[in-house]
A = this chain, B = another copy of it.
Amino acid sequence: MTTIDPLRADCAVPHRESDRVLLGHGSGGQLMAELIDEVIVAELGETAPLQDAAVVDIAGTGVVFSTDSFVVTPRFFPGGDIGALAVHGTVNDLAMRGARPVALALAYVLEEGLPVEELRAITASVAKSAAACGIRIVTGDTKVVGRGAADGIYITTTGIGARLPGADPDATRGRPGDVILVSGPIGAHGMAILCARGGLGLEGEIRSDTAPLHELVAAMIAACGPDVHALRDPTRGGLASALNELAAASGVGVEIEEAAVPVPTAVAATCELLGLDPLHVANEGCLVAFVAPEAAERALAAMRSAPGGAGATVIGRVTDGPAGRVTARTLMGAGRIVDMLIGEQLPRIC
């Protein structure tokens, strides 16, 4: 792993002043956070911290509610496709707020000329993934735009769910002393997409980790209840951005052991080759959790016996600050600051 390349950081600076939307604005990193804060949230006038999902009161019931658009390219990749990703992504966002996913809305924007068989295959994948998650597709929408006005198909899924009893994970609830766990190896999704893009001469040996995380979360909540303080699935911007967002939202520091972060050999090797930091690479089937210290062993045991949690492990601790600072202790014993992804690493990862 390397620190942020100063050249990359320099390149990113003019973006901050840009008067046009740039690819880096969709990266999940610093530039995107700025666009959201300075334009979207500024205009909407919302002050709530960014969360994977909102909890909304409907007639006295707390309904968990989350939306995501999926624009991944290519649409089919080792380990998954845009349909499976669109289901898992929203199921996981609901799960990160401690919800059992109940129903999904499915909105398609189709480009004129998309083969109907491809639409059929993607829809079948949506159906299969939703059934596997026990979630129903209850409503939807289909729009068609002319050739060249989209890239095949974009999918927006929105989910609603019911909070699990005792669940209260929230990005703001991290506390100094919390143990930081990840559910499994990182970096597979981003590297699978990168390799699938072709032109890099890399074989497609890395498969996306796209998978639903709701059962894993249910097991954690059943074991630890509100001692699961915060959950996040580190998608765009990778683990580094997720840790930075949680640290900032909770007003705490984060310290991880670099050597404890599980990075598969193939992911590490490909990242090395391309000069990427695995901490910035997107995931679609793992989560990071801040758990009260007294519950950490129970959480780990629950994760390891739940689907997708066999590789769960402790990677660090929440500290009392500086607020929002994420540091990694290297094998040499030195500390380095782990920044959010700045600018763009790989667009259209999800």
Interfacial residues, chain A to chain B (CB-CB below 8 A): 18-26, 32, 35-36, 39-40, 42-46, 48, 51, 53-54, 56-61, 63, 65-71, 102-103, 105-117, 119-120, 123-124, 126-127, 130, 136-146, 148-151, 154, 156, 158, 160-162, 347-348, 350
Contacts and interface: CB of A to CB of B under 8 A. Distances in A.
B115 A19 contact: yes
Contacts of A145: 26, 71, 151, 154, 347-348
A139 B69 contact: no
Nearest to A117: B19
A54 B139 contact: yes
B59 A113 contact: no
A140 B40 contact: yes
Question: 9 nearest interchain CB pairs?
Answer: A26-B144, A67-B105, A158-B158, A54-B138, A156-B156, A43-B123, A61-B61, A54-B139, A149-B151
A112 B22 contact: yes
A43 B131 CA distance: 12
A177 to B, nearest CB: 30
A126 B21 contact: no
A127 B44 contact: yes
A268 to B, nearest CB: 28
Given A39-B116, A58-B162, A69-B107, 20 more contacts: A19-B115, A20-B115, A21-B144, A23-B144, A25-B110, A26-B144, A40-B123, A56-B138, A58-B58, A63-B160, A65-B139, A67-B105, A69-B108, A69-B143, A69-B156, A70-B143, A109-B154, A148-B148, A150-B151, A156-B156
Nearest to A124: B43
The winner among A24, A39, A106 for most chain B CB atoms within 10 A is A39
Contacts of A68: 107, 141
A172 B124 CA distance: 27
27 contacts: A19-B115, A20-B114, A21-B110, A21-B144, A23-B112, A26-B110, A26-B145, A39-B123, A43-B120, A51-B139, A53-B139, A58-B160, A58-B161, A59-B61, A59-B162, A65-B105, A67-B141, A69-B108, A69-B141, A69-B156, A109-B154, A141-B156, A143-B348, A145-B151, A145-B154, A150-B151, A160-B160
A51 to B, nearest CB: 7
B143 A26 contact: yes
Contact of A71 (B23, B39, B143, B158): B143
A18 to B, nearest CB: 7
A42 B160 CA distance: 23
Contacts of A56: 102-103, 138, 160
Contacts of A40: 108, 119, 123, 140, 142
